[in-house]
Amino acid sequence: MPYLDLSKDKISIWYTTNLKNDNIANLDRTKPTILLLHGMFLNTRFLAPQFNDPRLTDNFNLIAYDAMSCGKTKNPVSPHNDLWCQAALIAQVAFELKLPPFHLMANGMNPVAAALRFNILFPGRCLSMSLNSIPGPLDIDWCAKAYTDLLQLWSFAPNLEQIEEACMEVAFFLFGENVLTKEQTDEVIGMWMQAWPPGRRSHLLDIAALISGRVPLTQAEYDRITVPTFLVTGDSSVVHTVKMAEDLQESLRNVRGGCKLQVIRGGQECLHLPQSSAGFVNRFLAQFVTSVERDLQENPDNNVPVSLPKKLSDYMKNGLDVLAELMEDQKVKKREVKSVFSFSRTPAEGAKGMEAFIGQFKTGEKQAYSPLGKDGQPLRKFSERHDNQLFLSPQHGNLRDHSAAVGTMIDVPYVE
């Protein structure tokens, strides 16, 4: 089975590829390699629109892994986990899989933030970034409050109806309205009930805390990113607005060739999954990676990859040295180099508070309500209760009232 064991942190990473038998040894060195980061509250299964698209799977080596607390990956819940740890995880996974210099595709809030931080800490291994559904440095106030409320509603639900209500609201935030098919909706919400029922709420917290705990990058940190970057967003998103993408584009002022932005007309959230937008995302990715590869062939001095140290400890030490510089704290260099949690920038008081929070979530987990039957499957499909009413709860009217936050689109390419 394709697991990658990171023994220092007791993490087992599940990964998948488009290679024969998921064997990295079968990687085609004549093709570019793309490492894909799945969307938040999803897993690699929901990268099917990319792995099933011949424009990608026929022309590139595709590698993806389940993030911590997602899918088949196994990991402890750490109070130190933050987006810098997620960046270190990208580095360690790529090193342990012995990937050649690769292109990085990230989808949504946490993955995009982790991809940016990876390129700050470990420059030279990534040849380009394709970032979809661009978040802001911080959540819109109403959005942040909604996430907090939904986390509580979901985690401590006493019955199936409350869990379904929470899932319906989360689905709106992640995908928007009426963009998934009924089958996709049932699959997503069914997966949620299996992955993060109230009996596994501490792992749900592990993901959600990355949202509430993130700290905006400084302009000096953005300026360290020089790798070619392509941004994709939708003009109908109330969570990842066009203005957020435009702001990131402006911040990435040192990107070679200039940071590019594409807006999908009518696009909402999690653009790599819905049928209405996934095809555009795949086309942009294939075209952009191909153009970067062509540029590297014609101009080999551009972004020459940094040679990879032979030892993981040396590679991760390079990242810790950068982190120490960013934090202006030389003691950071003395941290355990093989632990991704050594890359945490969570303050001591923040980690202490998070540890208490984790304890609260773990209390009573084993006795918590389960929405699953004896066969481990959800008691019913979501559509069996909400048929013809998907994502239409009363709260959504209030959410749409905030659509004025969407930025204006000036001199930005569109597709329809």
297-257-86 Cα angle (round to 5): 90
- Encoding tokens for residue 2? 């394709």
Contacts of 6 (CB under 8 A, 6+ apart): 12, 13, 92, 96, 338, 340
pLDDT tens for residues 89-120? 999 999 999 999 999 999 999 999 999 999 99
Question: How far apart (Å, rounded) are the C-alpha atoms in residues 72 and 93?
Answer: 15
Q: Catalogue all structural domains in the chain, each as residue range(s) with its CATH number.
A: 3-415 (3.40.50.1820)
* Residue 67 scores a pLDDT above 80: yes
Residue 331: CB atoms within 10 A of its CB come to 8
* Residue 397 scores a pLDDT above 80: no
Q: What average pLDDT is seen over the chain?
A: 89
pLDDT at position 306 is 72
Question: How far apart (Å, rounded) are the C-alpha atoms in residues 172 and 179?
Answer: 10
pLDDT bucket at 414, cuts 50 / 70 / 90: very low
pLDDT bucket at 133, cuts 50 / 70 / 90: very high
- Encoding tokens for residue 93? 């996974």
Question: How far apart (Å, rounded) are the C-alpha atoms in residues 271 and 280?
Answer: 9
Question: How far apart (Å, rounded) are the C-alpha atoms in residues 376 and 378?
Answer: 7
* Residue 408 scores a pLDDT above 50: no
Question: How far apart (Å, rounded) are the C-alpha atoms in residues 38 and 58?
Answer: 20
pLDDT at position 105 is 98
pLDDT at position 235 is 92
Residue 353: CB atoms within 10 A of its CB come to 13
pLDDT tens for residues 259-313? 999 999 999 989 999 988 999 999 999 999 999 999 999 988 876 677 788 999 9
Helices of type H across 239-335:
242-251, 275-298, 312-327
> Which is nearest to 126 in space by CA: 159, 93, 78?
93
Contact 361, 202 (CB under 8 A): yes
pLDDT bucket at 142, cuts 50 / 70 / 90: low
Helices of type H across 26-70:
48-51, 54-57
pLDDT bucket at 386, cuts 50 / 70 / 90: low
* Residue 245 scores a pLDDT above 80: yes
